[in-house]
A and B are shown apart, each in its own frame.
Chain A
Amino acid sequence: MTIEAEPRVDQRRVEALRTTETGGGTPSPPLAPGLRKRRPAWMQQSVLTAVAGGIIGYLVGHWLGNLIASNYANVQGNGQNDVAISLALAFLVLGWLGGAGVLNNPLAKIFGRELPSGVPRQDWTRYFRFTLDHKVVGIQYLVAVFTFLFTGGLLAMGIRTELLTPTSHFFGPSTYIDIVGEHGTIMMMMASSVVVGPLGNYLVPLMIGSRRTAFPRVEASSLFVFCAGYFVILTALPFGGFPTGWTGYAPLQTQGAGGMDSYLIGFAVIGLGMILAGFNLVVTIIHFRAPGMTWGRLPIFVWSILATCALLTLATPTLVAAGLFGILDRTAQTAFFVNEHGGSSFLWENLFWFFGHPEVYIMALPGFGIVAELLPVFCRKPLFGYRVAAAGMLGVALLSFFVWQHHLFQSGIDPDMRPLFMLTTELISIPTGFIYLVGLGTLWKAKIRLEVPMLFCLGMFFNFLIGGVTGVFLSDVPVDVTVHGSFFVLAHFHYTIMGGGLFAFFAGVYYWTPKLTGRIMDHKWGKIHFWAMFVFFNLTFFPLFIVGLLGQPRRVFEYAGNLQIWNEFSSVNAFLLGASFLIFVGNFVWTIIINPRPSPDNPWESNGLEWQTPNPVPFFNFERIPIILDNPYHYGEPEPVAVADMGSGLVGAGVTQSTPQSARSSEPGPPL
């Protein structure tokens, strides 16, 4: 006799699996039946629990480090235990991530369980939580990068205050070097995600016709890792700061006080966030494009994000590894960077710049993408030489891996390679120059509308040209002997990163806030902000070229008396430049938050797919996955051109204007 075995079925698990959102499919019901009920909002994990987790993690790590290493790892001369500091910071990051809920899903998977999924709570508290909505993550990133930017900006004010006089001091040399290091590191961390984080995460799925990014959990994790990096780098100040600047050269790194651990762990943590953010968007762009979104129709901004994220994914692991080596040197007595114990100080220089130079293009490329995306809209012309623009971005990304030793021309390492690195560095100006070909070509006989975003784009073209041309001076080895390590370099990279990247970022912020928030910023104050920022930026940094040529090295707290007039001029303008950001903050807070000014759905009359979604953008972005019919740059044609079939009707140049979103026919349009 056989017994019919009842198959054991875990009903809860089946329900949970059935309701798991699988991407691209239909939205799940809000709550799967049979799963435990959602807790009230205040009991769920949020930034508050993350902070609590971070504090607990810090205390546990510090205790553990002192427990295991206080006998041997106390650093002579500063009385600090590097093992305790490192473990405290590592556990701080873990506690912050755990408290935020980043680790819930991986842990649940390990124990074979499923978390509730579906459409999360849509109230305002979602902006303070770990969330799988790329649009919310984009807004969170926007707040985070502005926090970074303004922190770094305040530190810059401190630097310029100290440099008001050549020999009398506002800060001691120790405080000054801490300020310099924090300013550089925070700004570099901020700039690596300034466009990819907010605008990339928010806009790329909308621009390619996707309902989400490839790995929403990875995307949201990258944000929380990025924020953890901010806290870690700030802990350097109570630990005595770090004396190396943002480049962290060994063996000074090995010598530094406890703040050096914050620098190394902070950079490694940020690097981890950069890798996560980068590869999520690379996979999204490759695999989540809507039908018909061929490579030749991809918006140029998405091309730039693709190139940037490829760099984030491929270059940053070197930084994480180098940071780990540094931490091991300081805690476990390895000697990666210690010459007298078989290591090499050149190793750090090479590892750091092998990451550091692609990093420079990580900051510049999204800026190119923004200006190339915006110019056609404000010129009412197609993008000139679309293929050249895309090829230029990929060319810059590829070549950026082969130029890093131009930072080491005088270091004595491998002198035979100097002509080669001079060549690769100068070659990279060719694909960089493509952005000027594209920009100038698009301006030819255009109908230029000088709106605020367009002003910032034109400002970027002006500033980046100076930054790029002075870069050629630095690539020339004989001239580099004079300008290397001087204020000339400093002025050069502020012209490219700030004058180029940040101006483009502000163009993007003014342009896309109506999409991100449904509200539009004031034009008049926007123009005042642009002119103040543009004028004072140039007045701050142009004199620094001259200061550098006259012999002032970087990161000094004392300088020759005859350079005082130039430094004072630069400092005063730097304060005014800092004040110009207050205009932006005031404008943003007033017109977006306090006194919201509703924006039309498509205020700039753009053909971009992101502007064809209603405002606010629905949770799953598109009611139906759109079918892409053409690229979005048909601004110069008198006949209407449909660029996408949204399911509810065609959209495109000339099409939207006669068919408001509400009145669109639901039948698909004729084939084109």
Chain B
Amino acid sequence: MASALTSPPPDPAAVRAPGVPDGHHHFLWMTGTWLVLMAVGEPIIYFVVGPHAPPGTMTSEAAGAQFDFYVLLMIALPVLLGVWIYLGYAIWTWRASRGGPEPVIGPHSWGHLGIEVGWILTTTAIVLGLFTFGTYELANADGAGGGQGANPLFTPAAHKILAVQVIAQQWLFTYRYPSFGGFETSQLVIPADTEIAFHVTSLDVVHEFWAYQLGVKADANPDYDNIAYTHTTDQLGDFTVRCAELCGIWHGAMYGTGQVMSVPDFMDWASSNEKVLAAATKLLPPFAWTYTPDANGADGGYYPDNRDPYSNVEIYGAQKANP
């Protein structure tokens, strides 16, 4: 045993190969490469990727999400490049050559307090910065187009807000316009340059209303009014609507398009629909922010319906109507 502990020390050349530059040298190489790639990559993100990043600029919320996306991309790039360059450089420079002297012994280093503390402080600073930025963008964009529940925390300052109710059911979306008599249609049409409040609810299971180009996404929960705000710009045209929460076998087929019209066109469309559909609207349940689902709708008749248990029973003592 004693012989083991006093075995001959290894060749010093194995500890440090001749000609290997010191740490400073490596650091300069990595930083240099990093700076060059950053100088190429960051402008590409800002000028090329940024303006085309999803979800476009059809609403101010969408534009905000696009801005946030490429800001995060610009923050992510230095991290990705830094780690990749380090990994690549380390593998290239410090890989042990085959058939080298045995035993191979690397440098004796258990850590470096300065580097560890510096790393922790840097990542903490980045994270707190991201949090501040994200919260500001969330509040500034009135909830950033996301569903905020029935009592939104971030509400728009606009005086005129168009409320559109989104009713999800297996497997389609319909829309009601409470400002126009509460008519219901399967076409989603909204005016340009307007603050829109989507009130999203469901008649059966959980769906998710995703108007991609509007930057709007909100879960549709049964018996629950989930509000998402968006402010349309002057861009007119179609946008995509999809269900983004698995809602059964035809989930993949639950999509459609909506349209942004100019305000006069929208007023024509809405008021003519209000008149044309007036008879149908009378047959609908009166407009409400939520509709209690039919107990036998979602679950295939499993739960007992809330119906009058005596509806089929002849009322005691009632006179039979004469034929």
Residue of A408, A482, A559 touching B69 (CB-CB under 8 A): A482
Provide the A467-497 mask, 1 if CB < 8 A to any CB of B, else 0.
Answer: 0010011011111111011100000000000
The answer, yes or no, to whether B246 is at the interface (CB within 8 Å) is: yes
CA distance A385 to B90 in the complex (A): 18
Interface-side segment among A71-79, A207-215, A577-585: A71-79
Provide the B144-182 mask, 1 if CB < 8 A to any CB of A, else 0.
Answer: 111111111110000000000000000000000000000
The answer, yes or no, to whether B96 is at the interface (CB within 8 Å) is: yes
Given contacts A429-B127, A469-B80, is CB(A555)–CB(B252) below 8 Å?
Answer: yes
Interface-side segment among A95-103, A417-425, A517-525: A417-425
The answer, yes or no, to whether A243 is at the interface (CB within 8 Å) is: yes
- Closest B-chain residue to A173, C-beta based? B249
Most buried by A among B146, B153, B200: B146
Instruction: With both chains docked as a complex, state the minimum distance between the C-beta of A338 and any C-beta of chain B, in angstroms.
Output: 7
Q: Which of A529-564 contact B (CB under 8 A)?
A: 549-551, 553-560
Instruction: With both chains docked as a complex, state the minimum distance between the C-beta of B170 and any C-beta of chain A, in angstroms.
Output: 9
- 15 extra A-B contacts, CB within 8 A, seeds A339-B293, A410-B219, A415-B152: A76-B302, A340-B292, A384-B111, A385-B110, A412-B200, A414-B149, A415-B148, A419-B131, A422-B138, A427-B127, A448-B91, A462-B84, A465-B84, A481-B216, A482-B54
Instruction: With both chains docked as a complex, state the minimum distance between the C-beta of B291 and any C-beta of chain A, in angstroms.
Output: 10
CB of B205 within 8 A of CB of A249, answer yes
Residue of B1, B64, B94, B301 touching A447 (CB-CB under 8 A): B94
For A381, list chain B residues within 8 Å (CB).
106-109
For A462, list chain B residues within 8 Å (CB).
84, 87
Sort chain A's interface into a size bin: 35 or more
- Closest B-chain residue to A440, C-beta based? B86
CA distance A619 to B9 in the complex (A): 37
Q: Which of B115-153 contact A (CB under 8 A)?
A: 115-116, 119-120, 123-124, 127, 130-131, 133-135, 137-138, 141, 143-153
The answer, yes or no, to whether A41 is at the interface (CB within 8 Å) is: no
CB of B65 within 8 A of CB of A640, answer no
Interface-side segment among A315-323, A351-359, A430-438, A608-616: A430-438
For A244, list chain B residues within 8 Å (CB).
246
For B68, list chain A residues within 8 Å (CB).
476, 478-479
For A636, list chain B residues within 8 Å (CB).
105-109
Residue of A339, A414, A481 touching B65 (CB-CB under 8 A): A481
Most buried by B among A386, A553, A555, A640: A553
The answer, yes or no, to whether A11 is at the interface (CB within 8 Å) is: no
Cross-chain pairs A/B with CB under 8 angstroms, 20 sampled = A176-B252, A243-B246, A340-B293, A340-B295, A387-B111, A418-B146, A446-B106, A447-B100, A458-B87, A466-B80, A469-B79, A472-B130, A482-B215, A551-B55, A551-B212, A637-B105, A638-B105, A654-B4, A657-B103, A670-B2
Given contacts A78-B300, A335-B303, A485-B217, is CB(A419)–CB(B138) below 8 Å?
Answer: yes
The answer, yes or no, to whether B311 is at the interface (CB within 8 Å) is: no
Instruction: With both chains docked as a complex, state the minimum distance between the C-beta of A11 and any C-beta of chain B, in angstroms.
Output: 48
CB of A338 within 8 A of CB of B299, answer yes
For B4, list chain A residues within 8 Å (CB).
640, 650, 654-655, 658-659
- 3 smallest beta-carbon distances between A and B, as pairs: A412-B226, A556-B252, A636-B108
Q: What is the interface of chain A, defined by CB distance below 8 A to chain B?
A: 75-78, 173-174, 176-177, 243-245, 247, 249-252, 254-255, 330, 333, 335, 338-341, 345-346, 379-388, 408-416, 418-419, 422-423, 426-427, 429-430, 433-434, 436-437, 440-441, 443-450, 458, 461-462, 465-466, 469, 472-473, 475-482, 484-486, 549-551, 553-560, 605, 633, 635-640, 642, 649-650, 654-655, 657-659, 664-665, 667, 669-670
The answer, yes or no, to whether B183 is at the interface (CB within 8 Å) is: no
CB of A485 within 8 A of CB of B210, answer yes
The answer, yes or no, to whether B244 is at the interface (CB within 8 Å) is: yes
Q: What is the interface of chain B, defined by CB distance below 8 A to chain A?
A: 1-5, 7, 9-10, 15, 20, 23, 26, 53-55, 61, 64-65, 68-69, 72, 76, 79-80, 83-84, 86-87, 90-91, 94-96, 100, 103-112, 115-116, 119-120, 123-124, 127, 130-131, 133-135, 137-138, 141, 143-154, 200, 204-206, 208, 210, 212, 215-219, 221-224, 226-228, 240, 242-253, 292-293, 295, 298-303, 306
CA distance A670 to B4 in the complex (A): 11
Given contacts A249-B245, A340-B295, A639-B9, is CB(A481)–CB(B217) below 8 Å?
Answer: yes
CB of A484 within 8 A of CB of B244, answer yes
CA distance A665 to B131 in the complex (A): 60
CB of A413 within 8 A of CB of B149, answer yes
For B208, list chain A residues within 8 Å (CB).
410, 485
CB of B303 within 8 A of CB of A486, answer no
For A440, list chain B residues within 8 Å (CB).
83, 86-87, 90
CB of A479 within 8 A of CB of B69, answer yes
CB of B54 within 8 A of CB of A549, answer yes
For A409, list chain B residues within 8 Å (CB).
146
Residue of B105, B135, B206, B302 touching A249 (CB-CB under 8 A): B206
- Closest A-chain residue to B67, C-beta based? A478
CB of B138 within 8 A of CB of A478, answer yes
CA distance A469 to B135 in the complex (A): 19
Given contacts A384-B109, A472-B72, A481-B215, is CB(A251)–CB(B91) below 8 Å?
Answer: no
CB of A410 within 8 A of CB of B147, answer yes
CB of B246 within 8 A of CB of A554, answer yes
CA distance A176 to B252 in the complex (A): 10
Given contacts A75-B300, A412-B148, A659-B1, is CB(A478)–CB(B137) below 8 Å?
Answer: yes
For A341, list chain B residues within 8 Å (CB).
295, 303
Instruction: With both chains docked as a complex, state the minimum distance between the C-beta of B27 and any C-beta of chain A, in angstroms.
Output: 10
For A655, list chain B residues within 8 Å (CB).
4-5
CA distance A670 to B151 in the complex (A): 73
CA distance A550 to B55 in the complex (A): 8
CA distance A559 to B153 in the complex (A): 34
CB of B153 within 8 A of CB of A416, answer yes
CA distance A114 to B180 in the complex (A): 80
Residue of A410, A465, A472 touching B146 (CB-CB under 8 A): A410
Most buried by A among B133, B148, B150: B148
CB of A384 within 8 A of CB of B134, answer no
Given contacts A249-B206, A473-B69, is CB(A667)–CB(B1) below 8 Å?
Answer: yes
Instruction: With both chains docked as a complex, state the minimum distance between the C-beta of B94 and any C-beta of chain A, in angstroms.
Output: 5
CA distance A473 to B133 in the complex (A): 12
CB of A340 within 8 A of CB of B111, answer no
Instruction: With both chains docked as a complex, state the minimum distance between the C-beta of B263 and any C-beta of chain A, in angstroms.
Output: 25
For A472, list chain B residues within 8 Å (CB).
72, 76, 130
CB of A380 within 8 A of CB of B106, answer yes
CB of B135 within 8 A of CB of A340, answer no
For B295, list chain A residues within 8 Å (CB).
340-341
For B135, list chain A residues within 8 Å (CB).
419, 422
CB of B221 within 8 A of CB of A386, answer no
Instruction: With both chains docked as a complex, state the minimum distance between the C-beta of B202 and any C-beta of chain A, in angstroms.
Output: 9
CB of A486 within 8 A of CB of B244, answer yes
Instruction: With both chains docked as a complex, state the minimum distance between the C-beta of A82 and any C-beta of chain B, in angstroms.
Output: 9
Given contacts A255-B298, A339-B222, A479-B65, is CB(A558)–CB(B253) below 8 Å?
Answer: yes
For B120, list chain A residues within 8 Å (CB).
388, 430, 434
CA distance A346 to B243 in the complex (A): 18
CA distance A664 to B133 in the complex (A): 63
For A76, list chain B residues within 8 Å (CB).
300-302
For A466, list chain B residues within 8 Å (CB).
80
Residue of B111, B141, B150, B302 touching A412 (CB-CB under 8 A): B150
Given contacts A251-B206, A478-B138, A642-B5, is CB(A382)–CB(B109) below 8 Å?
Answer: yes
CA distance A335 to B222 in the complex (A): 14
Residue of A382, A426, A450 touching B108 (CB-CB under 8 A): A382
CA distance A639 to B7 in the complex (A): 8
For B245, list chain A residues within 8 Å (CB).
249, 485
CA distance A380 to B30 in the complex (A): 22
Given contacts A481-B65, A555-B246, A650-B1, is CB(A473)–CB(B303) below 8 Å?
Answer: no
Instruction: With both chains docked as a complex, state the minimum distance between the C-beta of A538 and any C-beta of chain B, in angstroms.
Output: 13
Instruction: With both chains docked as a complex, state the minimum distance between the C-beta of B21 and any C-beta of chain A, in angstroms.
Output: 10
CB of A479 within 8 A of CB of B105, answer no
